Structure 1
């Protein structure tokens, strides 16, 4: 038995029966938990020496952290993973290996190419364009996006413009090469990184005007807000379309559309499959991870559940590029996300990213709640981040 542990829905289970048919001596078992519990559980299992699944998904922001514990993982290079390098874009491959390239911690699954989802009906109420190309022209920059928020809120005061300040902030950050830590030496730069402050100011400014619904993805409040049409825009990586469809239900089919994100690039999410050493069948586990991340399987997963492939051979496939989505007003989602994939430039995630990143998200929450000004929230977040790193 090979246990495959993921967070959320990776689209793997429909493929398990096929793999088992091709490998009669292998039985695959899925373990699915939520994002935070999954990664905390892996850290606990590694520290305790038992409890990890045979194949474990790790989200990109956690890769630098777990690379520090690479002695507890199988070096996939020992099984020939280096021969697969050309399967991925150079930046995606680099996220899964050590700096010198000798240790392969994980094989890339999806990537979170960004787009913006918007409610056509609510834009029409606000007197704004509804055609996706015209909407894209409204916000070539995030500053323009904030100005559209003002126009929308003035025309439709009973609906919020965006889901949350955190969503806006994260999308802007993901267009910068560096966030909280320097790529060169992993030093803390959040207190003087202009890209970080710009993202915080834009998102915080929208929040301070009461233009966000103050709901976080994956929460029940977010599901309800999507269903009720409480907000008009959200930044949506490819994997989020299924979340919107599930939350919105049939009643909201055709009300949403998809267009390019301000800044025209960025990635939100993307994972890797790793093989902890404590598993009893590391070679078989590697073979499973290799098969699940192969371009053909990445392509099939996108067509079935919408996770954007990280393998160029998959996301450039005509079937992927040609995919449209009737729920989202027949938006050419394959073309939109494939185009975003070609412009992606990853940002550096420091080894302590997961320690400091939440401090700034919580600070924006205080702005949304009216408890602090943007400047006050920023100052407190920087100080909390410094304290957390001590």
Structure 2
């Protein structure tokens, strides 16, 4: 969810998508003293503890346990458990970047439509529901949990130093498109010589690609990264800005990146909903009030978000499906958003809730995050991910790093990305 999504996403971008053989865990369900035990497996804290206690009070015949693992360990173990047919928890979270990988073995997961899931289709953001149903009309692989809708976080003090507007509405007017965003970066650098415009070329490219309906794969799951004009357009625009020294050249989610946030080495950052917690933690209270949030170039976008699934190997599929339904209900998603985790809901009804829409973050100059991120989430078009999406993306991120390091110009970096992606996908 929100507070730890940064670390999890970083690992997701670097993780291979092949099924990895790691030791499986024990069975996720049992019956003792007449009570059914269900296990919920997540990667980091999803904010479920109070919800689970509430559920147990209304379901005295069910015991619910949590199994919390690190991001890579969680998904790799799930791969092994699905392959071996045992060891998976009853309810298992899958991050949106990994969902296409498990789509290839969807027959190993319960079709939640058999347990009433289709009645919830109108509750969800359209694109989120489509992700969880794998684009089908009668198969529901997972209930959506949160979304990572995009914005831009920016340093008001650095904008003022560069003579740029500082009020969030006026800031958003600077960059209706990504070309405008990079052009504003040049204006910034003409005035402020010792700061970068953005933190990492990889984060910029990811945000841009996540706004496309089709990126590296088409609807038939055919690789199009080498022919899709959007891929080349976004890569070259990012690479040119990077070659012009707009990037702070910081490896996302590293110690150096955290230090860069604290020291104000960059004026802007691509900012999914969960990134606000990362910035607040890294920058510290000494920087409170220096950051603000504005709309992202190019309209809405998303980076992150998860789904709750029920592997068929569960001994209590019906009860597990009911628990997954409860944990993702409107009431539950609202409680998670207004609680310590603060994950942005994926349900339209919750995003439109006055309490949620009225949420502001004091650290970011009382930025109306409930409204701002909801607008971004609602305006997003579905972003198709191929089953080998991560294998395709990694070479492009690596090639952008070569530009950051001065080891390749944009043209050579593009050629390198295409070459390595072709090798990865053979």
TM class, shorter-chain normalised? over 0.9
1:378 Cα deviation after fit? 1.1
User: Kindly tell me: are residues 385 and 131 of structure 1, through their superposed partners in 2, closer, same or farther at Cα, counting changes over 3 Å?
Assistant: same
Does residue 322 of structure 2 align to residue 287 of structure 1?
yes
1:313 Cα deviation after fit? 0.4
User: Kindly tell me: are residues 5 and 157 of structure 1, through their superposed partners in 2, closer, same or farther at Cα, counting changes over 3 Å?
Assistant: farther
Does residue 356 of structure 2 align to residue 320 of structure 1?
yes
How far apart are the structure 1 equivalents of 2:154 and 2:371?
Answer: 17
How far apart are the structure 2 equivalents of 1:284 and 1:221?
Answer: 45
1:50 Cα deviation after fit? 2.6
Aligned residue for 1:10, secondary structure, equals: coil
How far apart are the structure 1 equivalents of 2:267 and 2:135?
Answer: 42
* Greater Cα shift, 296-305 or 106-115: 296-305
1:276 Cα deviation after fit? 1.3
- What is the aligned counterpart of 2:280 among 241, 245, 253? 245
Does residue 290 of structure 2 align to residue 255 of structure 1?
yes
1:122 Cα deviation after fit? 1.5
1:44 Cα deviation after fit? 2.0
- 1:165 corresponds in structure 2 to 201
- 1:146 corresponds in structure 2 to 182
How far apart are the structure 2 equivalents of 1:106 and 1:127?
Answer: 48
* Greater Cα shift, 26-35 or 336-345: 26-35
- 2:6 corresponds in structure 1 to none
Does residue 44 of structure 2 align to residue 3 of structure 1?
no
Does residue 215 of structure 2 align to residue 186 of structure 1?
no
1:98 Cα deviation after fit? 4.3
Does residue 49 of structure 2 align to residue 42 of structure 1?
no
User: Kindly tell me: are residues 294 and 37 of structure 1, through their superposed partners in 2, closer, same or farther at Cα, counting changes over 3 Å?
Assistant: same
- What is the aligned counterpart of 2:115 among 79, 84, 105? 79
User: Kindly tell me: are residues 223 and 11 of structure 1, through their superposed partners in 2, closer, same or farther at Cα, counting changes over 3 Å?
Assistant: farther
How far apart are the structure 1 equivalents of 2:60 and 2:248?
Answer: 50
1:316 Cα deviation after fit? 0.7
Aligned residue for 1:30, secondary structure, equals: strand
- 2:383 corresponds in structure 1 to 347
How far apart are the structure 1 equivalents of 2:356 and 2:183?
Answer: 34
TM (norm. structure 2) is 0.87
- 1:132 corresponds in structure 2 to 168
1:362 Cα deviation after fit? 1.1
Does residue 119 of structure 2 align to residue 92 of structure 1?
no
CA deviation map 1:302-360 (0-9, x unaligned) = 22233221110000111111111101110111111111122111211111112111111
* Greater Cα shift, 82-91 or 166-175: 82-91
* Greater Cα shift, 251-260 or 283-292: 283-292
How far apart are the structure 1 equivalents of 2:397 and 2:58?
Answer: 45
Q: Is the 8 A contact 1:112 1:269 kept in 2?
A: yes
TM (norm. structure 1) is 0.95
How far apart are the structure 1 equivalents of 2:256 and 2:58?
Answer: 43
User: Kindly tell me: are residues 43 and 325 of structure 1, through their superposed partners in 2, closer, same or farther at Cα, counting changes over 3 Å?
Assistant: same
Aligned residue for 1:175, secondary structure, equals: coil
1:293 Cα deviation after fit? 0.8
Does residue 64 of structure 2 align to residue 22 of structure 1?
no
1:6 Cα deviation after fit? 2.1
- What is the aligned counterpart of 1:204 among 214, 239, 249? 239
CA deviation map 1:350-386 (0-9, x unaligned) = 1111211111111111111111111111111111111
How far apart are the structure 1 equivalents of 2:421 and 2:224?
Answer: 11
Q: Is the 8 A contact 1:115 1:236 kept in 2?
A: yes
Unaligned runs of 5+ in 2: 1-36
Q: How many equivalent residue pairs?
A: 389
Aligned residue for 2:144, secondary structure, equals: strand
Aligned residue for 1:348, secondary structure, equals: coil
User: Kindly tell me: are residues 288 and 355 of structure 1, through their superposed partners in 2, closer, same or farther at Cα, counting changes over 3 Å?
Assistant: same
User: Kindly tell me: are residues 169 and 279 of structure 1, through their superposed partners in 2, closer, same or farther at Cα, counting changes over 3 Å?
Assistant: same
Q: Is the 8 A contact 2:146 2:306 kept in 1?
A: yes
How far apart are the structure 2 equivalents of 1:216 and 1:274?
Answer: 32
How far apart are the structure 1 equivalents of 2:42 and 2:254?
Answer: 18
How far apart are the structure 2 equivalents of 1:109 and 1:204?
Answer: 34
Aligned residue for 2:381, secondary structure, equals: coil
How far apart are the structure 2 equivalents of 1:128 and 1:99?
Answer: 43
1:99 Cα deviation after fit? 4.3
User: Kindly tell me: are residues 21 and 213 of structure 1, through their superposed partners in 2, closer, same or farther at Cα, counting changes over 3 Å?
Assistant: farther
Unaligned runs of 5+ in 1: none
User: Kindly tell me: are residues 244 and 26 of structure 1, through their superposed partners in 2, closer, same or farther at Cα, counting changes over 3 Å?
Assistant: farther
